[in-house]
């Protein structure tokens, strides 16, 4: 039966779990050398000239060397990307073979960024320190990885979201950093997310033929690849695991055992904490600020006690809330959040938050 089915172009590396896809395509084992060759060939440009024109980033001398995109993205952004991420790039290459990253620019005003820049050939010599802050907006915690941003830039962007760097993201979120820290759940995959953007646009410009054509092509591709085009169901499933609602409204998820070890709540509501932080930021003198900071200092002590008793989620919650409030608490955050991520066995996020804090600017 296996030999009668076409070989999936992603071979053993395919992340898709859809039953119809698994029945329709043969997935060789990693030990199958022939499948490895086919997988490698599928990542190379079909036009030899494309290697020179697309994979040599401006201002560098890469020599046209083509590397495995999955490994390169993991090396530069420290995380893996889901199958829909790569399938969407292939979709955009059909829409715009010359510049796939700009395939959505003229219809819904979005550009592919972040790890898509690796596929476009612009980050071959960039370090991970630079890549993890590529298109990282002011309120983007390490759980967020931006892949779409508005053109011209106005703060609006769309990102994959994951609670653990070792896991693949299962939904996307949007945020406008010019307005607030709030993250809004979008689709379970990037096709669904872009589909939602098209639907919003069609409500205001229903006569746009290019937009309708894009919508038709997107729906056809989703049907072919068995991707759903609805709002996130995975986000609703995740909500059942959320232990606390953070300032960005997305909440935090941490492991909690049967004895409730893993998280303990902050001694303040979000409203009370925001009032404390507002008062600290608005203080006119050192004395006034010191007095206003006393409740926060007390909470930091509570976090230390919680860490001693393995309730690591408390530090994560407070750290994210401070991060989402303003840029006035970086000295506290740099000691609080990286430690929380390390204790939760999420060291990649600790690296990302440290790097972000170095370059973080409100504009």
Active site residues: 309
User: Do 136 and 146 meet the contact criterion of CB atoms below 8 Å apart?
Assistant: yes
Sheet holding 171-176, edge to edge: 110-112, 144-150, 156-161, 171-176, 184-185
Q: Distance between CA 92 and CA 270 in Å, rounded? A: 41
Find out whether 296 and 274 touch, Cβ atoms under 8 Å. no
Residue 15 corresponds to which tokens in the numbers above? 């992340």
Tell me which residue has tokens 């011209």: 152
The C-alpha atoms of residue 261 and residue 343 are separated, in whole angstroms, by 13
- Classify residue 344 as left (phi > 0), alpha (psi -120 to 50) or beta: alpha
Neighbours of 76 (CB within 10 A): 22
Is 348 in contact with 337 (CB distance < 8 Å)?
A: no
- Burial (CB < 10 A; 0-12, 13-18, 19+), residue 43, is middle
Q: Are 112 and 147 in contact (CB under 8 A)?
A: yes
Please name the helix (run of DSSP H) or strand (run of DSSP E) that holds residue 151, with its range, or none.
none
- Nearest-Å Rg of the Cα atoms of the chain is 22
Cis peptide before 152 (omega within 30 of 0): yes
Start-to-end C-alpha separation, the chain: 57
What DSSP string describes 88-137? Answer: HHHHHHHH-SS-GGGTTHHHH-EEE-TTHHHHHTS-TT--HHHHTTTT--
Q: Cα–Cα distance between 160 and 142 in angstroms, integer?
A: 11
């Amino acid at each position: 039966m296996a030999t009668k089915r076409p070989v999936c172009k992603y071979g053993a590396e395919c992340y898709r779990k859809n039953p119809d896809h698994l029945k329709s395509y043969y997935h060789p084992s990693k030990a199958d050398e022939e499948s490895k060759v086919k997988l490698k060939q599928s990542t190379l440009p079909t036009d030899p000239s494309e290697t020179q024109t697309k994979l040599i980033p401006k201002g560098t001398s890469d020599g046209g060397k083509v590397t495995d995109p999955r490994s390169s993205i993991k090396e530069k952004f420290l995380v893996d990307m889901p199958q829909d991420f790569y399938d969407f790039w292939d979709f955009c290459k059909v829409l715009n073979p010359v510049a796939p990253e700009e395939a959505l620019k003229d219809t819904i005003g979005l550009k592919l960024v972040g790890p898509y820049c690796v596929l476009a050939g612009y980050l071959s010599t960039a370090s991970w320190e630079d890549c993890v802050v590529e298109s990282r907006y002011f309120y983007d915690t390490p759980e967020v990885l931006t892949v779409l941003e508005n053109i011209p830039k106005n703060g609006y962007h769309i990102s994959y979201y994951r609670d653990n760097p070792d896991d693949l993201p299962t939904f996307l979120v949007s945020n406008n950093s010019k307005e607030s820290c709030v993250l809004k759940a979008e689709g379970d995959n990037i096709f669904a997310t872009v589909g939602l953007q098209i639907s919003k646009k069609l409500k205001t410009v229903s006569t746009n033929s290019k937009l309708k054509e894009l919508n038709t092509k997107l729906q056809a591709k989703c049907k072919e690849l068995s991707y759903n085009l609805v709002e996130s169901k995975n986000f609703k499933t995740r909500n059942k695991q959320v232990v606390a609602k953070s300032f960005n409204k997305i909440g935090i998820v941490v492991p909690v055992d049967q004895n409730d070890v893993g998280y303990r709540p902050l001694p303040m509501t979000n409203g009370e904490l925001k009032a404390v932080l507002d008062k600290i930021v608005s203080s006119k003198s050192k004395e006034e600020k010191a007095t206003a900071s006393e409740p926060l200092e007390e909470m930091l002590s509570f976090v230390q006690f919680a860490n001693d008793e393995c309730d690591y989620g408390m530090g994560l919650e407070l750290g994210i809330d401070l991060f989402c409030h303003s840029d006035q608490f970086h000295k506290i955050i740099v000691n609080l959040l990286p430690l929380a991520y390390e204790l939760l066995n999420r060291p990649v996020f600790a690296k990302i938050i440290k790097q972000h804090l170095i370059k973080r600017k409100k504009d």
